[in-house]
């Protein structure tokens, strides 16, 4: 079997990569649309390196391309090629990908909802009046409103047992501005430069801001109590002293973890030494890793015991085999695994399920990606009925990653520039 083409298309809010072969077996992967310009720039470089290769020799493909990627978003093409190759390898062998990764150790995989403020879970609507989101959809909502939305997630048939919210510098400052904190930090203000998606945010917090953050957690937990686990995605942008003070102050609330306080999303470094300083100062679990590319760049964090939890994204770290390698190495060092994935869509969810069911007992849960918009669930086939229940995704046994396009339906949503995607 040989690769004859590699194509991408923007379908709804996600980019899909398709690897075409001379045997008529296609492989698919998916990643967030914020990376579209990077994909367009990088794919012409990577495509000639793999044309003519056997996609079932996944390691051989990776040997050709892995060193040409980098931290998020520059590893997205490498990662998506890897996942699409595993999809082909599973289909060719007639087995689910988890069989090729060593076999499953669990029949269902715990997930957490990090997207209750996005379009996540629209497909599970009871009716047209059920928006699933409540007041927490607005990120200037009060802590009590967010807590009620989290509890609503746990009470639905999907039954999420964990939820994560953006907090502090990571898009969660509007509530604090609403209550009169005009300066969240001493040297950085709320608003990013006009026209930029991600500015350089962060500074030493004002005392009022730090106190407001601690009070927010107290009010949130007064609603949720111990009924649902809560994680906070805090940055990047916090200074080490602020992160230490905040983590210490929230110890009584037994948070699942606080994430990306110092370095994180879209920062091309790890700050392992600073994370170790933070982690050794508190009993609150410390988490990072969604932006990191390849196992080599997790080595210092893991071997130095610099964090309690790592959270690579398969669409950025180098794919699902890379994700499993990191999980196993972290397990050897007593570090937990909670993969990122909130905007990686249905194909991303399927790939995460395939790899996470093979991981050791350091696995906690992965961040659940949903179809976006909800018509995505009409254009794919393979998902079992009620696959998400009681906070777990049931592992299903279709070949490859277990999801396929209904091409006649999916073609209707292709943009004009992508009309040849399925041809």
Question: Which of 227, 236, 269, 230 is CA-nearest to residue 250?
Answer: 230
Asked whether residue 423 is domain-assigned, the answer is no
Positive or negative: CA dihedral 384, 385, 388, 394: negative
Contacts of 195 (CB under 8 A, 6+ apart): none
Q: Are both 191 and 289 inside the same structural domain?
A: yes
- Rg from Cα positions in the chain: 21
Q: What is the pLDDT of residue 172?
A: 58
- The SS3 of residue 243 is helix
Q: What is the pLDDT of residue 131?
A: 43
Q: What is the pLDDT of residue 116?
A: 55
What is the chain's pLDDT, residue by residue, as a tens digit (423 residues)?
999 999 999 999 889 999 999 999 999 999 888 888 899 899 999 999 999 999 999 999 999 999 999 999 999 999 999 999 999 999 999 999 999 999 999 999 999 987 654 333 343 344 444 444 443 444 567 888 888 888 888 888 889 999 998 888 876 566 777 777 767 788 765 455 444 445 557 889 989 989 999 999 999 999 999 999 999 999 888 999 999 999 999 999 999 999 999 999 899 999 999 999 999 999 999 999 999 999 999 999 999 999 999 999 999 999 999 999 999 999 999 999 999 997 789 999 999 999 999 999 999 999 999 888 889 999 999 999 999 999 999 999 999 999 999 999 999 999 999 999 999
Domain CATH for 9? 3.30.390.10
10 Å CB burial of residue 151 (0-12, 13-18, 19+) is middle
Question: Which of 328, 332, 312, 323 is CA-nearest to residue 360?
Answer: 328
Asked whether residue 311 is domain-assigned, the answer is yes
Q: Are both 253 and 335 inside the same structural domain?
A: yes
Supply 62's token pair.
Answer: 């990776």
d(CA 164, CA 155): 16
Q: Are both 161 and 40 inside the same structural domain?
A: no
Q: What is the pLDDT of residue 153?
A: 85
DSSP string, 123-149: GG-SSTT--S-GGGGSTT--HHHHHHH
- The SS3 of residue 357 is coil
Q: What is the pLDDT of residue 371?
A: 87
Q: Are both 39 and 132 inside the same structural domain?
A: no
Residue 347 · residue 402 · CB < 8 Å: no
Q: Are both 293 and 235 inside the same structural domain?
A: yes
Q: What is the pLDDT of residue 127?
A: 45
How many structural domains are present in the chain?
A: 2
How many Å separate Cα 206 from the centre of its chain? 30
Asked whether residue 221 is domain-assigned, the answer is yes
Q: Are both 17 and 129 inside the same structural domain?
A: no
Q: Are both 47 and 194 inside the same structural domain?
A: no
Q: Are both 216 and 295 inside the same structural domain?
A: yes
Q: How far is CA 220 from CA 119, 143, 164, 243, 367, in A?
A: 22, 5, 12, 19, 21
Supply 43's token pair.
Answer: 């794919």
d(CA 258, CA 128): 35
What does DSSP assign to residue 256? S
Asked whether residue 422 is domain-assigned, the answer is no
Q: Are both 131 and 244 inside the same structural domain?
A: yes
Q: What is the pLDDT of residue 119?
A: 36
Asked whether residue 70 is domain-assigned, the answer is yes
Q: Are both 229 and 289 inside the same structural domain?
A: yes
Q: What is the pLDDT of residue 193?
A: 46
Q: Which helix (H) or strand (E) holds 150?
A: helix 143-155
Q: How far is CA 275 from CA 168, 206, 230, 286, 293, in A?
A: 17, 21, 21, 8, 18
d(CA 250, CA 256): 11
d(CA 47, CA 60): 14
Q: Are both 123 and 88 inside the same structural domain?
A: no
Q: What is the pLDDT of residue 26?
A: 98
Domain extent at residue 51 = 3-95+407-417
Q: What is the pLDDT of residue 120?
A: 37
Asked whether residue 193 is domain-assigned, the answer is yes
d(CA 52, CA 139): 48
With left for phi above 0 and alpha for psi between -120 and 50, is residue 194 left, alpha or beta?
beta
Q: Are both 234 and 166 inside the same structural domain?
A: yes
The total number of residues shown for the chain amounts to: 423
Positive or negative: CA dihedral 350, 351, 353, 354: positive
Tokens 């998506």 correspond to 80
Residue 20 · residue 4 · CB < 8 Å: yes
Asked whether residue 280 is domain-assigned, the answer is yes
What pTM does this model have? 0.93
Domain CATH for 262? 3.20.20.120
Asked whether residue 44 is domain-assigned, the answer is yes
Q: Is the peptide bond before 373 cis (omega within 30 degrees of 0)?
A: yes
């Amino acid at each position: 079997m040989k690769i004859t083409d590699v194509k991408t298309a923007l379908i709804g809010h996600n980019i899909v990569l398709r690897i075409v072969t001379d045997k008529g077996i296609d492989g698919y992967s998916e990643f967030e649309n914020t990376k579209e310009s990077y994909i367009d720039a990088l794919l012409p470089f990577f495509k000639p390196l793999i044309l003519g290769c056997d996609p079932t020799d996944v390691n051989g493909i990776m040997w050709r391309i892995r060193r040409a990627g980098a931290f998020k978003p520059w590893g997205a093409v490498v990662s998506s090629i890897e996942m699409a190759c595993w999809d082909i390898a599973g289909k060719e062998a007639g087995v689910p990908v988890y069989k090729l990764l060593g076999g499953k150790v669990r029949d269902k995989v715990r997930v957490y909802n990090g997207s209750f403020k996005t379009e996540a879970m629209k497909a599970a609507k009871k009716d047209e009046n059920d928006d699933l989101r409540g007041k927490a959809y607005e990120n200037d909502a009060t802590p009590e409103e967010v807590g009620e939305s989290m509890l609503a997630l746990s009470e639905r048939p999907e039954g999420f047992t964990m939820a994560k919210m953006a907090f502090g510098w990571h898009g969660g400052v509007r509530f604090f501005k609403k209550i009169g904190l005009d300066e969240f930090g001493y040297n950085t203000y709320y608003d990013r430069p006009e026209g930029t998606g991600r500015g350089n945010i962060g500074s030493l917090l004002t005392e009022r801001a730090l106190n407001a953050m601690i009070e927010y957690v107290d009010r949130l937990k007064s609603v949720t109590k111990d009924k649902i686990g809560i994680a906070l995605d805090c940055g990047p942008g916090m200074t080490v002293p602020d992160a230490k003070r905040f983590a210490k102050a929230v110890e009584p609330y037994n948070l699942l973890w606080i994430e990306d306080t110092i370095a994180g999303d879209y920062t091309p470094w790890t700050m392992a030494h600073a994370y170790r300083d933070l982690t050794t100062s508190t009993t609150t679990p410390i988490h990072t890793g969604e932006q990191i590319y390849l196992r080599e760049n997790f080595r210092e964090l893991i071997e130095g015991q610099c964090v309690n939890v790592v959270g690579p994204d398969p669409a950025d770290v180098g794919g699902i085999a890379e994700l499993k390698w990191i999980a196993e190495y972290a397990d050897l060092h007593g570090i937990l695994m909670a993969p990122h994935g909130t905007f990686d869509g249905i194909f991303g969810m399927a790939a995460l399920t395939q790899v996470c069911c093979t991981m050791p007992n350091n696995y906690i849960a992965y961040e659940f990606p949903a179809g976006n918009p909800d018509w995505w669930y009409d254009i794919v086939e393979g998902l079992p009925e009620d696959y998400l229940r009681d906070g777990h995704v049931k592992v299903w046994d279709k070949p490859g990653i277990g999801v396929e396009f209904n091409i006649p339906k999916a073609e209707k949503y292709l943009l004009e520039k992508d009309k040849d995607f399925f041809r």
